[in-house]
A and B are shown apart, each in its own frame.
Chain A
Amino acid sequence: MTEQNQKKSLGARYSEFMDKPIARDVLPIIGFLIILVLFAILTHGKIIQPFNVRLLLSQTYVLMIAATGVFLIMTMGCLDFSQGSMLGIASIVICYLSAYNIFLAILGGIVTGGAIGAINGFFHVKRKIPSFIVTICTMYLFRGLCAYLTTNSPVYAVGNVYQYNTETVKLCLTIGLLLIIFLVYHFTKLGYSLKAIGAGETASRFAGIKVQKVKWLIYIVAGMITGFAAFINVIKVGSVTSTGGNMLETEILIALVLGGMPISGGAMVRYINIIAGVLTYKVLSAGLNMMGLATEMQQLIEGVVFLIVVALFSDRKSLKVIK
């Protein structure tokens, strides 16, 4: 009995702590540092050698950029599973157009992503279908299209796209994008609207927020951001196969949740969730890899960590139906 009481008070103390805004600000960073230190020890410092850090970073850009778009969607309490196939299709478009002009190619990628985002938005907003159903459907649809377009052979970009594949270009583009979204998220009416929609859609409507418009807009923007990520993908890889962008959606979701993002979105969301999440995820998977674990074992461990973090960070108040 006493033990049970103690457990309860521990649980109560924990949820009290998680209710404080500071917890949501600091924990993602602490989590990242713990994982980093843990793997620095486990890999005997290998993971923090300059060469490996650079390698790690070069694998991070696409995920980081695409996660930014999904972050906006999830802030509204929606989901998007179509990111991977979106990246595949946008990459194909970019490869085709790279033969003509590199800027045209970037633009093409962004437009393609935006168009797929618009389709997601249409079915979710106008046809009122839950977003995870819509985006699972479009995921299959565009995954299929991607496979069809690459049936005979991978689609190749022109050879000179590699000239853009430098750390400086990729790092600047990524930081630039993160900065723009950060500013929009924290200092504009749109940013506040996103959080409000996530915290309560009906109440947001009654506060004059054009909920439908904002949702649709964000789906398009997230698509465009992923279209942009496709460009980074193409200059790095140079070609697209039928599995281009495979599993990206899951990686994004895992990364954001590892970064402390509540799946219900809303006012508990913090921008740091993206950066801390993506870095934590990448360190975690690279670290497990360096320790020489088999892929299956890596997935298993990632799954366990993922579950624990979701359990820690979900905003239970928002998930409750009855007061």
Chain B
Amino acid sequence: MSKMGEEILKAVKINKSFGITHAVKDVTVSFYKGEIHGLIGENGSGKSTLMSMLTGIYSIGSGEFILEGKKLNVKNQVEANRNGVSIIVQEMGTLSGLTVAENIFLGNEDQFVKFGIKNAAAMNRKAQALLDQYGFHHIHASTMIDNYDFEDRKLIEIVKATYFNPKILVVDETTTTLSQAGRDELYKHMKRLKKLGSTVIFISHDLEEVIRMTDRITILRDGELIDTVQSSDVTEDDLKRLMVGRELSGRYYRTDYGEPVSKEVVLSAKNVSVPGQLRNISFDLHKGEILGIGGLSECGMHEVGKAVFGASYDRTGEVALADGTHIDSIPTAIKHNIAYVSKDRDNESLVINDSIRDNICLTSMDRLSKHHIILNKKLDQFANRYAKIVSVKMVGVGQFVSDLSGGNKQKVALARWIGKDSDILVLDSPTRGIDVKVKADIYALMSDMKKQGKSTIVISEEILELLGMCDRILVMKEGAFSGEFKRDPALTEEDFIAKMV
């Protein structure tokens, strides 16, 4: 197939500002028919903003998109769909309170309406036919979407965004939230659309995946277009250099092997069960240890973090500290210096509609108050101090967390717990949707914590991250542990996957 296809979409001098942040600067780029076009850059480089303007999630600041010779300026996603442009977003893109079928045909219900009455049965039939055609037999069209988990809802979004064979499909960092099986489904439909002559714009932080999947790659940095390259001509290191604008130091994961871990147990879980999630799991966490928990996204591993933090509903069994304290509620966990960073950054880790200051100080209020009185000045100092330690990119601590990019949000979440001087850190998917630079910062932070004798539990779907950072890894399958690995340079992904599935 020829690499230079016919131009289908062109972005011309696109700009967008949010307050003082100039998120997208004069970006001009062409997309060809029948190509998968990668779009990469660090957090806050403007990729998502650019695509949000294309698909009507944001209004266009200035400049224009030209689709098949005609100017495209849509006001919302429904209108974008009508023009043959669809998007699968990074976070939850389906609406609660509606059925699966209603979500799939959102804004496109007219085909089922006769004399002003919606034929729900016909809609469900058609939706079910689509779901079956995609091979998602376990999803039922007439069921409320709320009954499905994140992964299934993403699959439904794939159907919603691709069933009408759009001319342009945008996939915005979707793969990081999906399991391998889910990713394969997504890849399949990206390739299918490519074959039909459509264009797929693919945003991902997984550079290996980007090179493997795409024909060409466009790199953005600080809102500016840096270059568009042929995927076959570049390596991951080339891309990293283009994204960051300088050579990255070699240190990424830990390099030490064979150092003994203390025998001292700081936390132990015994026979912990959570209905539908965990079945009778027990483990010990040692002083200064980085313990990894891995598996498929639905294996229950994310619940382990909540169970340890006292946040699970209906948990049985016990989680106890070395001194015998039982951890049964979040306030007790926090009081005994356990920290938890959730996978769900926007809803659980951070109060996003609140300031950086309040977010960092919230768990340390007792320490910051004197005779129950809290002074604003003290909070400012505290927040500034810890925001600086993790180097949050911000205007000031009064800025709202909702204005920050994913990586910076994660830094705020970590600053909160470093400020609390936590001894046990539970990090669920700490680098999900985060660029290489911030990733390296987070790994360095984990190593620092280890050096200070603090213990960490890392729950992650990224096997390489677990292999690179952990002293010991527990593998989970269907709510129980299915294997255990000690840190070893000879350990490979394959060893790991064998225990996962």
Contact = CB atoms under 8 A, between A and B. Distances in A.
B91 A323 contact: yes
B348 A192 contact: no
Given A207-B362, A266-B354, A16 B19 contact: yes
B interface bracket (residues with beta carbon within 8 Å of A):
35 or more
Interface in B327-363: 330-331, 333-335, 340, 342, 346-355, 358, 361-363
A277 to B, nearest CB: 21
In this complex, the member of A199, A207, A321 whose beta carbon has the largest number of chain B beta carbons within 10 angstroms is A207
Contacts of B402: 317
A206 B311 contact: yes
B111 to A, nearest CB: 24
A188 interface: yes
Given A8-B59, A187-B374, A189-B369, A203 B363 contact: no
B490 interface: no
A206 B354 contact: no
Interface string A1-36: 000000010000000100101000000000000000
Given A21-B398, A206-B311, A208-B331, A188 B351 contact: no
Contacts of A318: 353
B400 interface: yes
A203 B347 CA distance: 6
A267 interface: yes
Interface in B350-400: 350-355, 358, 361-363, 365-366, 369, 372-376, 398, 400
In this complex, the member of A189, A191, A204, A315 whose beta carbon has the largest number of chain B beta carbons within 10 angstroms is A189
B366 A189 contact: yes
B374 A189 contact: yes
A6 B202 CA distance: 33
A122 to B, nearest CB: 20
A182 to B, nearest CB: 13
Contacts of B342: 206
B19 A267 contact: no
Contact of A200 (B330, B347, B365, B374): B347
Nearest to A190: B372
A54 interface: no
B353 A266 contact: yes
A195 B354 contact: yes
B19 A203 contact: no
B347 A192 contact: no
A189 B375 CA distance: 10
A16 to B, nearest CB: 5
A289 interface: no
Contact of B400 (A187, A192, A206, A267): A267
Contacts, number: 95
B5 interface: no
A70 to B, nearest CB: 21
A208 B365 CA distance: 11
A221 B458 CA distance: 42
B91 A200 contact: no
Interface in B416-452: 416
B353 A206 contact: no
B121 interface: no
A189 B365 contact: yes
B95 interface: yes
Contact of B365 (A192, A202, A203, A266): A192
Interface string A171-212: 000000000000000111101100110011011111111100
Interface string A290-322: 000000000000000000000000010110011
Contact of B353 (A187, A200, A205, A209): A200
A203 B348 contact: yes
A189 B372 contact: yes
Nearest to A197: B351
Chain A interface SS verdict (over half): helix
A131 B3 CA distance: 60
Contacts of A322: 91-93, 95
Nearest to B346: A323
Contact of A203 (B309, B335, B350): B350
Interface residues of A, number: 31
A318 B366 CA distance: 28
Given A187-B373, A210-B331, A200 B362 contact: no
A322 B416 CA distance: 25
A208 B358 contact: no
B334 A208 contact: yes
A105 B333 CA distance: 44
Contacts of A200: 347, 350-354
A262 to B, nearest CB: 10
Contacts of B351: 196, 199-200, 203-204, 207, 267
Contacts of A209: 362
B97 to A, nearest CB: 10
Nearest to B352: A200
Contact of B374 (A8, A188, A199, A202): A188
A272 B294 CA distance: 50
A105 to B, nearest CB: 31
A315 B331 contact: no
Contacts of B340: 206
Contacts of B330: 205-206, 208
A191 B355 CA distance: 15
Nearest to A268: B353
Interface in B23-62: 59
B363 A207 contact: yes
A210 B93 CA distance: 30
A19 B355 contact: no
Nearest to A196: B351
A321 B351 CA distance: 15
Contacts of B350: 200, 203
A318 B331 CA distance: 26
Contacts of B331: 208, 210
A284 to B, nearest CB: 30
6 contacts: A191-B374, A199-B352, A203-B350, A209-B362, A317-B353, A323-B89
Interface of A: 8, 16, 19, 21, 186-189, 191-192, 195-196, 199-200, 202-210, 266-267, 315, 317-318, 321-323
Given A16-B19, A195-B358, 5 more contacts: A188-B374, A192-B374, A267-B354, A317-B402, A322-B91
Q: Which 4 A-B pairs have the closest CB atoms?
A: A208-B334, A200-B351, A199-B354, A267-B354
